[in-house]
């Protein structure tokens, strides 16, 4: 019997698991997975603070891992699932790596580059446009971020500057 096809919600739940790992490390909780032919080939979560790298976003790390695994920068048969709407940098990386389908959980009104601060589908000169679907497991993808920042606000000011919501 053929294996039952996995749903988008299934893959997003794996991205959410990654976001939980980030949260447990006191990183802004965003997670991502890359899927090819139904198989998860890369998983990653935000590691900005641990790595002290501004570009260590979940999507960037997942794309890097996927390319390492496949031995090519061109991920045109791959889909990316990420819990939060990608920022400008990550949207650019998604275009450059030719990701086929982008699925994301919740919007980022402050930094999202898909529907918010810019709308990549309106930039006609980009040489690749992924298919895009948002709102996959929107509630839990949003709630994990809300809870994280609620908790941060309770903590002493000393730590707060490290977790500016705008950065994710």
Candidate ranges 11-19, 24-32, 70-78, 137-145; the one touching a copy of itself (CB under 8 A):
70-78
What is the C-alpha separation between 132 and 104, in angstroms, rounded?
A: 8
Is 100 an interacting residue with respect to a copy of itself (CB under 8 A)?
no
- Phi, psi (degrees; rounded to nearest 5) at 144: -65, -35
Residue among 71, 153, 156, 158 that touches a copy of itself (CB under 8 A): 71
Tell me which residues are annotated as active site: 59
Residue among 54, 133, 146, 155 that touches a copy of itself (CB under 8 A): 54
Count the site residues for a copy of itself by CB under 8 A. 43
What is the C-alpha separation between 55 and 101, in angstroms, rounded?
A: 21
Is 20 an interacting residue with respect to a copy of itself (CB under 8 A)?
no
Starting from the edge strand earliest in sequence, which strands make up the sheet with 78-84, in order?
Answer: 39-45, 31-36, 78-84, 101-106, 131-134
Candidate ranges 14-22, 28-36, 67-75, 133-141; the one touching a copy of itself (CB under 8 A):
67-75
Is 64 an interacting residue with respect to a copy of itself (CB under 8 A)?
yes
Candidate ranges 17-25, 36-44, 58-66, 133-141; the one touching a copy of itself (CB under 8 A):
58-66
Query: Distance from CA of residue 39 to its chain's centroid?
Result: 17
Residue among 4, 125, 153, 154 that touches a copy of itself (CB under 8 A): 125
Residue among 113, 114, 137, 145 that touches a copy of itself (CB under 8 A): 113
Question: Which residues, 6 or more positions from 16, have their beta carbon under 8 angstroms from its beta carbon?
Answer: 31, 83, 105, 137, 140, 141, 144
Residue among 1, 39, 52, 154 that touches a copy of itself (CB under 8 A): 52
Q: Are 90 and 60 in contact (CB under 8 A)?
A: yes
Q: Which of 166, 163, 103 is nearest to 138 (CA)?
A: 103
What is the C-alpha separation between 60 and 100, in angstroms, rounded?
A: 15
Chain positions contacting a copy of itself, by CB under 8 A: 48-49, 51-56, 60, 63-64, 67-68, 71-75, 87-93, 95-98, 110-111, 113, 116-118, 120, 123, 125-127, 164, 166-167
């Amino acid at each position: 019997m053929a294996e039952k096809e996995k749903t988008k919600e299934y893959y997003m739940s794996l991205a959410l698991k990654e976001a939980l790992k980030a949260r447990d490390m006191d990183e802004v909780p965003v997670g991502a997975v890359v899927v090819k032919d139904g198989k998860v080939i890369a998983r990653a979560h935000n590691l900005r603070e641990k790595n002290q790298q501004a570009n260590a976003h979940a999507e960037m790390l997942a794309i890097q891992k996927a390319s390492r695994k496949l031995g090519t920068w061109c991920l045109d048969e791959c889909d990316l699932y990420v819990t939060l709407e990608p920022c400008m940098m990550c949207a650019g990386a998604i275009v450059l790596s030719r990701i086929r389908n982008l699925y994301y959980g919740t919007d980022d009104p402050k930094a999202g580059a898909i529907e918010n601060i810019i709308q990549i589908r309106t930039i006609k000169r980009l040489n690749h446009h992924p298919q895009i679907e948002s709102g996959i497991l929107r509630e839990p993808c949003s709630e994990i971020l809300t809870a994280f920042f609620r908790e941060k606000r309770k903590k002493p000011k000393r730590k707060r500057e490290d977790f500016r919501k705008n950065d994710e």
